[in-house]
């Protein structure tokens, strides 16, 4: 399975010490150079299972940068180039553009629900609380309820 990620979800999971969930779910995760650079602003290293790849189509990145920041634009371009099975992205604009471009997406709550369903975590509720309190990651009340319901925690 090919998974490409934008910055926000990876950063949030690194902040709460649970980036390993991505490795346990997907093995390796591809990130474009811009995402790696954004992560290295806040973290001294990026775990080895994140494999950095250069996007080869600079024109595609430029086109996407008219609507998105560089990390999101490169992540979408890389997902297209690698024919990724899924793009991990949480920002609304990034999700909207990825959908428009025909790229399958998943967000951090989807990752947490999948981890619970596959038995990788006992409960996602404490992870959601850590993401909100320690990583300042925000989810709508509706999204939290839907995800907790999907994970059989309601």
- The predicted pLDDT at position 102 comes to 96
Same domain for 69 and 59:
yes
Tokens of 117: 């369903």
Mean of the per-residue pLDDT values of the chain: 96
Confidence of residue 126 (pLDDT cuts 50, 70, 90): very high
Long-range contacts of 129-133 (CB under 8 A, 24+ apart): 130/16, 130/18, 131/12, 131/16
For 37-52, write each residue's pLDDT tens digit: 999 999 999 999 999 9
92, 135: one domain: no
Same domain for 73 and 23: yes
**Does residue 13 share a domain with residue 39?**
yes
Q: Are 85 and 15 contained in the same domain?
A: yes
Give the residue numbers spanning the domain of 126.
109-150
What pLDDT score does 6 carry? Answer: 97
Number of domains in the chain: 2
- Residue 154's pLDDT is 86
Q: Are residues 73 and 84 in the same domain?
A: yes
Query: Is residue 58 located within the same domain as residue 113?
Result: no
Write out pLDDT tens, residues 81-124.
999 999 999 999 999 999 999 999 999 999 999 999 999 999 99
| Same structural domain, 13 and 87 | yes
Residues 75 and 10 grouped into a single domain: yes
Q: Verify that 100 and 113 share a domain, yes or no.
A: no
Last residue of a domain, one of 72, 89, 107: 107
Backbone phi, psi, residue 32, to 5°: -75, 165
Is the domain of 120 the same as that of 143? yes
Instruction: Identify whether residues 69 and 143 lie together within a single domain.
Output: no
Percent of the chain whose pLDDT exceeds 70: 100
């Amino acid at each position: 399975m090919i998974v490409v990620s934008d910055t926000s979800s990876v950063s949030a999971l690194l902040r709460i010490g649970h980036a390993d969930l991505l490795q346990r779910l997907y093995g390796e995760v591809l990130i474009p150079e811009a995402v790696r650079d954004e992560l290295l602003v806040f973290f001294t290293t990026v775990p080895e299972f994140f494999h950095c790849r250069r996007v080869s189509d600079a024109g595609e990145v430029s086109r996407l940068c008219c609507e998105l920041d560089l990390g999101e634009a490169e992540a979408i371009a890389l997902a297209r180039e690698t024919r990724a099975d899924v793009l991990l992205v949480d920002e609304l604009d990034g999700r909207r553009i990825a959908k428009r471009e025909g790229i399958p997406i998943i967000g951090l709550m989807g990752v947490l629900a999948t981890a619970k369903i596959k038995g990788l975590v006992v409960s996602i509720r404490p992870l959601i609380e850590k993401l909100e309190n320690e990583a300042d990651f925000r989810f709508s009340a509706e999204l939290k309820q839907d995800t907790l319901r999907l994970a059989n925690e309601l």
